[in-house]
């Protein structure tokens, strides 16, 4: 472990970031090539990306889309989730997960998380199932795969669909199989903070040709594959641009390099934090591989506020923040759900009465540490030493 003298030397360096996009000359050149071609709409680069991402995830079909939220909405639409249909999901996630359910008039039903994995607790899902339940949306939060074996068993038992929210889960795997293969449809994001980026950008994956064809039509105003001005269903404009696709295309070529560094960072952090008693890191289930997207320890002592450690870290040139400190059902939009347009025709629950104790504790007591691919081993050691100096001195 570094001594405080080493830490002082580190303070002379620039702030260690929680967000640092891994792009370079190849991405610049790819975008410039698209601009010079003057063909900016979804095209050649998108098709190449889809092929590469299908090979990477091991899925049969991939549709490139504008972003991860579009991917979720398309998944729900393709599975005919509509007004009054209930979809069980987690409250500890970015609000796009539950918002996408509501776009078509679906009803998010929030189930508490496992206090160790931070993912939706499969043991609590069945109690939330009603005759209106149509699907389960597990979110592989911070890139940690959910217990998909149990969730699949529940879905099969109750004839429910599964939409995997894989927005944060590039290279998250279970028994070697990439997430997105365990449900009917998987939705990925390539937002500018993700392990693999496109600025904006997303992908919908499935192993069903029927669902893929429906998604392809829905994302393109309900057209058939021939295009033109015949529209066979009410659809959306969720196509991506070939500029974003060009970036994603290059990122797939560099995926092994980028993700290997993420995994190395995660392994080093987990090794360093293994013996301390102040913080709880996400538990990773056997045969599960986390994507190492975000490291967000939870403080065991409820009297210590995340804002205190965040301030301390920033004073030592380490960027930090909370992420989902306000759960989805606690957001003003949900607390005032009667103001939502679809509430005119859908009887939403009173989200003011929803409580998920485990999720609420995690939301109130976590903070983020740098996990970006540009980190050096010395920086990770410094981050750990600084965190330990705070807790041992508090």
pLDDT tens string 123-154: 999 999 999 999 999 999 999 999 999 999 99
CA gap 306, 325 in Å, rounded:
10
How many domains, the chain?
2
Secondary structure (DSSP) of 268-321: HHHHHHTT-SSEEPPP--TTEE-----B--EES-TTS-HHHHHHHHHHTTB---
* CA–CA separation, 28 and 23 (whole Å): 8
Residues 323, 214: Cα–Cα separation, whole Å: 34
Ramachandran bin of 278, using left for φ above 0, alpha for ψ from -120 to 50, beta for the remaining angles: alpha
Query: For residue 38, is it within any domain?
Result: yes
Please tell me the pTM assigned to this model: 0.96
Q: Are 191 and 267 found together in one domain?
A: no
Confidence at residue 227, expressed as pLDDT on a 0 to 100 scale: 84
Report the candidate in 111, 98, 71, 83 with the shortest Cα–Cα distance to residue 202. 71
**Which residues constitute the domain of residue 206?**
25-253
Residues 91, 165: one domain? Answer: yes
248 within domain boundaries: yes
Using DSSP, state whether 86 is helix, strand or coil: strand
The CATH number of the domain holding residue 260 is 3.90.1150.10
Counts for the chain of helices (H) and strands (E), in that order: 13, 12
Radius of gyration of the chain (CA): 21
171 and 293 share one domain: no
Q: For the chain, which ranges sit under pLDDT 50?
A: 1-5, 11
Q: Return the pLDDT at 4.
A: 47
Q: Is the dihedral of CA 294, 18, 315, 383 positive or negative?
A: positive
- Look at residues 234, 253, 272 and tell me which one is the last residue of a structural domain: 253
Structure tokens at 379: 């920086």
Closest CA to 392 of 309, 306, 272, 315: 309
Residues 189 and 131 in one domain: yes
**199 plus 72 within the same structural domain:** yes
Sheet strands side by side (includes 202-206): 61-65, 202-206, 185-189, 161-165, 133-137, 86-89, 107-110
| Closest of 289, 238, 263, 282 to residue 375, by C-alpha | 263
Which of 251, 147, 146 is closest to 199 using CA atoms? 251
Residue 305 falls inside a structural domain: yes
Q: Is residue 344 part of a domain?
A: no
Looking at the domain assignment, is residue 333 inside a domain? Answer: no
Query: Cα dist. 175→122, 123, 145, 179, 228 in Å?
Result: 19, 21, 11, 10, 43
Domain-embedded: residue 340: no
The pair of structure tokens assigned to 351 is 């989200």
Examine the domain organization and report whether 78 and 221 are in the same domain.
yes
Token match 């680069």: residue? 45
- Of 292, 11, 233, nearest to 282 by C-alpha is 292
Task: Kindly state whether residues 59 and 106 are assigned to the same domain.
Answer: yes
* Spatial distance between the Cα atoms of 142 and 117, rounded to a whole number of angstroms: 10
Residue closest to 34 by CA, chosen among 246, 249, 238: 246
In this structure, what CATH number is given to the domain that contains residue 106?
3.40.640.10
CB 211 within 8 A of CB 185: yes
pLDDT of residue 10: 52
Given the residues 52, 161, 194, 219, the one annotated as active site: 194
Task: Establish if 81 belongs to a structural domain.
Answer: yes
Domain closes at, from 229, 253, 277 = 253
Q: Residues 218, 313: one domain? A: no
Distance of CA 264 to the CA centre of its chain: 20
Residues 231 and 103 in one domain: yes
Assigned domain for 182 exists = yes
> Within this chain, do residues 29 and 69 fall inside the same structural domain, yes or no?
yes
Q: Per the structure block, which two tokens stand in for 310?
A: 């965040």
Whole-number Å distance between alpha carbons of 190 and 54:
15
303 is catalytic: no
Domain boundary among 217, 238, 253: 253
- What spatial distance separates the first Cα and last Cα of the chain, rounded to whole Å? 19
Instruction: State how far the Cα of 189 lies from the Cα of 203, in Å rounded to an integer.
Output: 7
Same domain? 32 vs 12: no
């Amino acid at each position: 472990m570094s001594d405080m003298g080493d830490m002082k030397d580190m303070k002379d360096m620039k702030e260690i970031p929680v967000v640092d996009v891994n792009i370079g000359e190849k991405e610049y050149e790819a975008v410039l090539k698209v601009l010079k071609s003057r063909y900016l709409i979804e095209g050649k680069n998108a098709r190449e990306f889809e092929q590469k991402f299908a090979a990477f995830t091991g899925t049969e079909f991939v549709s490139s889309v504008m972003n991860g939220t579009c991917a979720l909405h398309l998944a729900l639409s393709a599975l005919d989730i509509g007004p009054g249909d209930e979809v069980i999901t987690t409250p500890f996630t970015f609000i796009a997960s539950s918002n996408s359910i509501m776009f078509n008039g679906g009803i998010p039903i929030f189930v508490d998380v496992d206090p160790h994995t931070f993912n939706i607790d499969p043991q609590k899902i069945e109690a939330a199932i009603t005759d209106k339940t149509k699907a389960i949306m597990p979110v592989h939060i911070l890139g940690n795969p959910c217990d998909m074996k149990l969730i699949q068993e529940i879905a099969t038992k109750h004839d429910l669909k599964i939409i995997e929210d894989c927005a944060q889960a590039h290279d998250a795997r279970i028994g070697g199989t990439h997430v997105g293969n365990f449900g009917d449809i998987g939705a990925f994001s390539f937002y500018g903070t993700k392990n693999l980026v496109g600025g904006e950008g997303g992908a919908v994956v499935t192993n069903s040709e029927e669902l893929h064809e429906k998604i392809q039509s829905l994302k393109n105003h309900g057209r058939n594959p021939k295009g033109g001005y015949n529209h066979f269903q009410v659809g959306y404009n969720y196509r991506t641009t070939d500029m974003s696709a060009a970036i994603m295309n290059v990122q797939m070529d560099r995926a092994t390099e980028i993700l290997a560094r993420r995994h190395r960072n995660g392994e080093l952090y987990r090794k360093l934090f293994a013996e301390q008693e102040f913080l709880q890191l996400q538990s990773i289930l056997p045969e599960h591989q986390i994507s190492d997207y975000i490291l967000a320890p939870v403080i065991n002592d409820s009297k210590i506020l995340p804002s205190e450690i965040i301030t301390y870290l920033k004073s030592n040139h380490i960027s930090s923040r909370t992420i989902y400190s306000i759960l989805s059902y606690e957001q003003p939009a949900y607390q005032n759900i009667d103001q939502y347009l679809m509430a005119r025709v859908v009887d939403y629950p009173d989200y003011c009465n929803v409580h998920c104790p485990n999720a609420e504790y995690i939301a109130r007591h976590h903070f983020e540490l740098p996990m970006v691919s540009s980190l050096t081993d010395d920086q990770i050691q410094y981050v750990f030493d600084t965190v330990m100096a705070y807790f041992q001195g508090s």
